Structures are given as C-alpha cells and as structure tokens.
Structure 1
Amino acid sequence: MAGEKARSARKAPDDALAHEITVLHLASKAAHGVPRIHAGLRRLGHRVNRKRIERVMRERGISGVTRRRRKGLTRPAKKAVPAPDLIGRDFTASTPGMKLVGDITYIPTGEGWLHLATWLDLATREIVGYSMAGHHRAGLVVDALKMAAGRGQLKPDALSLSR
C-alpha cells in the first residue's frame, strides 16, 4: 500500500519532468540520451538525479541514438610475420607497368559496406585495375589484379612476389 502511495505522489512531478525531457530530446532531433539530457536539465537549473531521468525516459520509451563502434576488418594471426617491403619504399617508376601498388578500402552505402580494391601504376599514377564487392576476401584483390593484367601494359616482372 505504501508503495502505491509513493508512486502516485511521484506521478505528477514525473510527468512534468517527462515534459522537460521530451522538449530537450526533440530539440536534439531525438539524438540525446540520458547523460546529455541530464546535463541540459542541469544547465536549465533543474536539480534532478541522473537515475531518475533514466527511469522516466525508460518508462516513456525515450532513448538517444547510440553510435556503434567501428570494427576493424583485419584480424592478424598470433604469430603473423610482417609482409616484406617489395618496392623498398621507392614509390617511383620510370616506365608504365613496372611497379604497381594496391589498396583495399570500404565505403558505407545505404545497402551496407562496399569494398573496393584498387591497383595503382606508380609511373602514371593511374588506377589500372579495380574491383568492388560486398566482401573483403582475397578474390576481390585478385579480380582487381586480373583487370590490371588484362590491360596488357604490365611488364613481366611487375607481378613478381619477391625480388
């Protein structure tokens, strides 16, 4: 019985607090959660416990936007050996098709991540091969390399894996 009295006595002040929270929440374009709503109420001169704000927001279904942490794509093996520097940090080439460097990146789209693998000719600074897919497996890079080789301008030792 005492619990019901306490809840009913708290209802009117909670409704007033919920109105203030809703105003701040809408002003933030429904982005702010408990910590920022609490800070906003403190700036307005309200002395309110953070846990009370959390309870009122939870009871009324008001929540902020949480940003997800980005996860890295690569997971190195425990005993991985770094890849050798095959071009010796020399990013110049005298003739086209002599040296290629590659990269893989991912781009957010409305349908998910788009992975892009590219090969750059160091002499011309032009993309000579690329491939796009919804994954970042080795086949993506191989397809881009096949495109670069299919242009017919690569020197025979441009694709060697060791020097």
Structure 2
Amino acid sequence: MLCDAADVSESGYYVWRNRADRATTEREARRLELSETICEIFHRCKSRYGYRRIHAELLRDDWVVSDRTVRVIMGEHGLVSCHPRPWRYCTKADGTPPASDLIRRDFNATEPGVRFVGDITQIDTWAGPGYLATVIDLFNREVVGWAIADHHRTDLICDAIRMAKRNKRIKRRAIFHSDRGSEYTSRQFRRCLKEARMRPSMGRVGTVR
C-alpha cells in the first residue's frame, strides 16, 4: 500500500532501504574509527592537545573531518586537555650576602658525611604545584634527606636537613652547598645548618654549580 501510494516499485523500495542501511553502518564504522584515532592522539601527546591541535593532526593524516566534530567526540569521551605552566626556578635571591663557595666546582668527596648538596624542585601535579627539597651526599650521590610540601619556604629545606641528620653521620664542619635562593640565605636556615654542624656554601643563582 505504501509503495502504491508513493508510486514506487516494491523492489525499488528495498534497494533504497538497503542502501540507506549500508550508509548508516559505514558512517558508524567511520565515526568509531575516528573516535579511536582521536583518543590515541590525545593520550600519545600526554593529554596536552586540545581539539584544534588534534584536528590539525587528523588533517595531516588525511582525515576529512571538521574541528567541531573533533570537539564533540572529545566531549563524549571526557577528553580535556591540560596546559602545564612553564617551568621556573624556585630560586629568589633576597639581597642577603651569600656564603662563600667552598666547593669551587669540585663535586666529589673522599669520604661520606663531609660534602653535601641540596636544591628545591617544583613538581606540577593535577592538585597544584608541589616542592621537593633534597640533601645529597657527594661521596656516593645518595639522597640522605628529603622533604615535600606545597610551599618552598625555609621550613621545607630544614626538614630535609633534619632527615639527613637522622639518616647519616654528618661530620663536624661538613659542607652543605646550594644556590643563593632566599630560603638558603635565611637566618633560620643558617641556624639549622649550625645545629647539624654544617657550613654553608653557595654557587650562583639558579644552580648549585
């Protein structure tokens, strides 16, 4: 009845329906392949690419797709790019006279517990930046003290020194070498070194060398 009403043959109707079904299946297969490719690019670039950069990658791979489609598919899969902030030195000189350089670029030690180096490293996380302070024995490059916090105040490096004091036999008048950051030139840190029977030594800003 429908074929008669539309003035089409029954065989023509089935040819049209099968062609439409096949086109739908092909579209679904292509979209599935596109989704898998987008996810692969996103994870390969460590979640840093947004939809525009992923769209550019797809065009380079000869995909014919709009950036809007890429954005929609990323939304369907919950793919949200992250934009890490540029790395910066934690070091901030505060005008306090630095200690003398007792190391003089000789980063070796003939015995344990006499020469140490330390620094603060910023670690970016999803929850925000974290800071790691370390104390390393130059005799064998062993990390003998460390501390982690969400700040890089002097308390952080003092905690690392105290751990080193607990973990390692520090000889009297041992050297602790660092950069000239305000944390290392503070009176609080000088008192901490004195309690650990250590002498401060400093290199130029931004490096322990």
| TM-score computed with the length of structure 2 as normaliser | 0.47
Report the counterpart of residue 87 of structure 1 in structure 2: 103
Once the two structures are TM-superposed, the CA of residue 69 in structure 1 deviates from its matched residue by 3.1
C-alpha distance in 2 between matches for 1:21 and 1:83: 64
144-153 or 80-89: bigger deviation: 80-89
Q: What is the CA deviation profile of residues 31-61 of structure 1, one whole-angstrom value per residue up to 9, with x for unaligned ones? A: 3613442563575475x8xxxx456667x58
What amino acid is the match of 1:120?
Answer: I
Assess, with a 3 A threshold, how the Cα gap between structure 1 residues 26 and 84 changes in structure 2: closer, same or farther: farther
Indicate the SS of the match to 1:130. Answer: strand
Is 2:169 aligned against 1:130?
Answer: no
Is the Cα contact below 8 Å between 1:120 and 1:127 reproduced in 2? yes
Q: What pairs up with 1:49-64 in 2 under 5 angstroms?
A: 53-54=66-67
Is 2:103 aligned against 1:103?
Answer: no
C-alpha distance in 2 between matches for 1:124 and 1:45: 54
Once the two structures are TM-superposed, the CA of residue 143 in structure 1 deviates from its matched residue by 0.7
Structure number, greater radius of gyration:
2
Is the Cα contact below 8 Å between 1:25 and 1:37 reproduced in 2? no
Aligned-residue identity in percent:
35
Indicate the SS of the match to 1:136. Answer: coil
Is 2:34 aligned against 1:24?
Answer: yes
Assess, with a 3 A threshold, how the Cα gap between structure 1 residues 45 and 113 changes in structure 2: closer, same or farther: closer
| TM-score computed with the length of structure 1 as normaliser | 0.57
Once the two structures are TM-superposed, the CA of residue 89 in structure 1 deviates from its matched residue by 0.8
Once the two structures are TM-superposed, the CA of residue 121 in structure 1 deviates from its matched residue by 1.4
142-151 or 110-119: bigger deviation: 110-119
Assess, with a 3 A threshold, how the Cα gap between structure 1 residues 128 and 43 changes in structure 2: closer, same or farther: closer
Assess, with a 3 A threshold, how the Cα gap between structure 1 residues 132 and 57 changes in structure 2: closer, same or farther: closer
Report the counterpart of residue 135 of structure 2 in structure 1: 119
Give the superposed CA RMSD: 4.2
Once the two structures are TM-superposed, the CA of residue 97 in structure 1 deviates from its matched residue by 1.5
| Uncovered stretches (5+) of structure 1, i.e. residues with no partner | 1-18
Is 2:94 aligned against 1:68?
Answer: no
| Uncovered stretches (5+) of structure 2, i.e. residues with no partner | 1-27, 43-48, 175-197, 203-209
**Larger RCO (CA within 8 A; separation ≥ 6):** 2
